Structure 1
Amino acid sequence: MAVLSRLIQAPAAVRIGPGVATELPAILADQRISGSGKLAIAISEGSGLTLRERLSADLPADAGWFTVSRASLDSAVDLADRIRAAGTAFDTLVAIGGGKVIDAAKYAAARLGMPLVAVATNLAHDGICSPVATLENDAGTGSYGVPSPIGVVIDLDLVREAPVRYVRAGIGEALSNISALADWELSHRETGEPVDGLAAAMARTAAEAVLRHPGTVADEHFLAVLADALVLSGQAMTVAGTSRPGSGACHEINHAINQLYPKLAAQHGEQCGVGAVFATHLRGDRDRAAEMAETLTRHELPVTPGDLGLGIDQFVEAVTFAPHTRPGRFTILEHLDLSRGEIHDAVKDYVATYAR
């Protein structure tokens, strides 16, 4: 008998809008996510303490509050250990904060066998709803497969209070889907790697919505579209069972920059945005690259290595090293297999084309 449909894992609840963080208890109850109402809540050590003061009145009085110091494997394991040691029969872990808190909580929830509800306070990346936790480890940074959040809440009032750079970074993350999908299709043609059409459609829709929207991060409607796009991107990875819909040469370059220049102050989404435009330029799709670069420029995001704080030789080093960050992944970088000299020429051409 032919298989006529497939089951797709998706969050039981997704709520995006101003002030929705205060609706969290009702969301958990309505969707039957937390049967007992006993919540373990993870927050950051800094701004998370302020969030606790603001939100505690709207959350159960017997909730357990746990701080997260950093997005590292050790910190995530420690969070799980502290929740277990509390001796309370928590039935849901709620992560309130940015990507560092959410990623650490994702891993901790998986370790504890608990559902996770992600309450995002910025829009810096698509990990809000993805089945991946990106955590620092002894070797640098690793990506760990985890269950996707069972609930996603994005409070646009809290997002507006975040540093604007953390919001703009999500634009670069969303746009990088365009390059990632081109890499996935390239791999399909060259290596036979299968492409999940539904996941690709979701990721492409997310990127195009952000690319085409005329608004800015000061516009609530644009923030809602960006939030939708990041949730849809994360869900695309869940559908595909891989990060392929949103991760190609763009993210290889990002990982390389992180490993080679760990003190660089650029955001993940900023680096991915530059990596995506460069990879698209390298692919020969100059019109598409120019369109992406124009969008990044309009939103005051980096476009060239210099905008990130990198010299040409440093970026060449990152592009040269990039394929080593994801062994087995096939992108335009692996396909062209350029020498260091050829990469240097390509980067110089890119900078000459897009420097402001």
Structure 2
Amino acid sequence: MPLLTRTVTAPLAVETHSGAIAHLGDLLADRRISAGGDVAVVVGPGIGARAAEQARQGLSRAEVITLAEGAGTHAGAMNLAEKLRSRNFDAVVGIGGGRVIDTAKYAAFQQGMPMVSVPTSLANDGVASPLASLDRDGHSISYGSHIPIAVIIDLDYVREAPVRQLASGVGDALSNLSATADWELSHSATGEPIDGLAIALARAGAEAVLRHPGALTDDDFLTSLANAHVLGGTAMAVAGSSLPCSGACHEIAHALQEQHPYVSTHGEQVAAGALLATFLRGDTALFAEMAAALRRHDLPRTPQDLGLTVDQFTAAVAYAPHTRPGRYTILEHLALDVSTLRARIMDFVDELD
């Protein structure tokens, strides 16, 4: 009887601990990513530059490229890709926040080079995903790329990130519970294929964060959060799409970003969106757990928490399905008119009081 298997794309190495960056050179050599340290280290002007100096202690032949401008944009990524042609690098190492990581990831993909992700913040699952979110012509667009060949998370640097960024990372991780529920709903209602392994990966990390009692700056909690992002990124690589990590929660976030830019972070938006979607699906047990976790980590739960009126939030949720045409979530399933949707949102707010 033949054994049927599949190859799963995942990082070759994942390390999360204090002092990880100081051992970057050894890790790249041990995993045969770069024996001699011939890598391009891409950083922003902030904390990533300091981390890069520490990494160079074990990467004497590395070339540091500072993204003075253009980080997080398609143009910046393409300019970086052009710079990478100047030398025969073994790999690209991105050190910094999400915008630096995504810029390095997409530039490496354009050049067919492996990319090592070294995030100094855990604001979202882009640290290990096969997607790069880049601004182009005033819009944030997700571009396909290779999943990082290694993910190195130094807790000494992550702890220095603003607490709001860490909380946003919690919101992004927890939203996977809503996204996977939407995917299963789509399978039931429309027959859309689902991938059980991708769902299991996305949920495992999110549930660990959901039920972890630690505070945002506790090493054990940060390790769980980092693992959740790695598992979420791997889930997307397994699925070949963002479905295990993006449902109504992200539709709502994209609508909020278009209609009310800068009022909240992406992680805050998807957290509130996931909570509302869970309420609309009638999953009372998960709703209670998620609401408690968002409160514990000081994440927004209601329109008022986001700095919006109920009417503003209702308008964004009503528009949300237009941000991802073809995606089927609880919003498309219910297809509520604006007045009914507003009434359900009022019930949602009352439930949280």
Compute the TM-score of the two structures, normalised by the length of structure 1. Answer: 0.95
Residues in 2 aligned to 1:270 and 1:145: alpha-carbon distance in whole angstroms? 24
| Matching residue of 2:22 | 22
| Matching residue of 2:280 | 282
The equivalent position to 2:342 in structure 1, one of 344, 353, 356, is 344
| Matching residue of 2:44 | 44
SS of structure 1 residue aligned to 2:253? helix
| Matching residue of 1:243 | 242
Matched length? 352
The CA RMSD measured in Å over matched residues stands at 1.5
Once the 2 structures are TM-superposed, how far is the Cα of residue 53 of structure 1 from its aligned partner? 4.0
Residues in 1 aligned to 2:152 and 2:160: alpha-carbon distance in whole angstroms? 16
Q: 64-73 vs 191-200, which deviates more? A: 64-73
Once the 2 structures are TM-superposed, how far is the Cα of residue 54 of structure 1 from its aligned partner? 4.1
Asked if the contact 1:68–1:79 (Cα under 8 Å) also holds between the matched residues in 2, the reply is no
Q: Which amino acid is 1:247 matched to?
A: S
Match status 1:83 vs 2:81: no
| Matching residue of 1:32 | 32
Once the 2 structures are TM-superposed, how far is the Cα of residue 35 of structure 1 from its aligned partner? 4.2
Q: Which amino acid is 1:52 matched to?
A: A
- Alignment deviations for residues 234-292 of structure 1 (CA, whole Å, 9 cap, x no partner): 1111111111111100011111111112232x221111111000000011123321210
Percent identical: 52
Once the 2 structures are TM-superposed, how far is the Cα of residue 3 of structure 1 from its aligned partner? 5.1
Residues in 1 aligned to 2:191 and 2:61: alpha-carbon distance in whole angstroms? 54
| Matching residue of 2:172 | 173
Match status 1:299 vs 2:300: no
SS of structure 2 residue aligned to 1:93? strand
SS of structure 2 residue aligned to 1:16? strand
Asked if the contact 1:256–1:321 (Cα under 8 Å) also holds between the matched residues in 2, the reply is yes
Once the 2 structures are TM-superposed, how far is the Cα of residue 50 of structure 1 from its aligned partner? 3.3
Once the 2 structures are TM-superposed, how far is the Cα of residue 56 of structure 1 from its aligned partner? 3.4
| Matching residue of 1:12 | 12
The residue correspondences of 1:261-340 to structure 2 (distance < 5 A) are 261-264=260-263, 266-340=264-338
Residues in 2 aligned to 1:306 and 1:182: alpha-carbon distance in whole angstroms? 26
Match status 1:141 vs 2:140: yes
Asked if the contact 1:274–1:302 (Cα under 8 Å) also holds between the matched residues in 2, the reply is yes
Residues in 2 aligned to 1:194 and 1:331: alpha-carbon distance in whole angstroms? 14
Residues in 2 aligned to 1:261 and 1:81: alpha-carbon distance in whole angstroms? 35
Compute the TM-score of the two structures, normalised by the length of structure 2. Answer: 0.96
Asked if the contact 2:29–2:36 (Cα under 8 Å) also holds between the matched residues in 1, the reply is no
SS of structure 1 residue aligned to 2:171? helix
Q: 39-48 vs 218-227, which deviates more? A: 39-48
Asked if the contact 2:171–2:267 (Cα under 8 Å) also holds between the matched residues in 1, the reply is yes
Asked if the contact 1:42–1:68 (Cα under 8 Å) also holds between the matched residues in 2, the reply is no
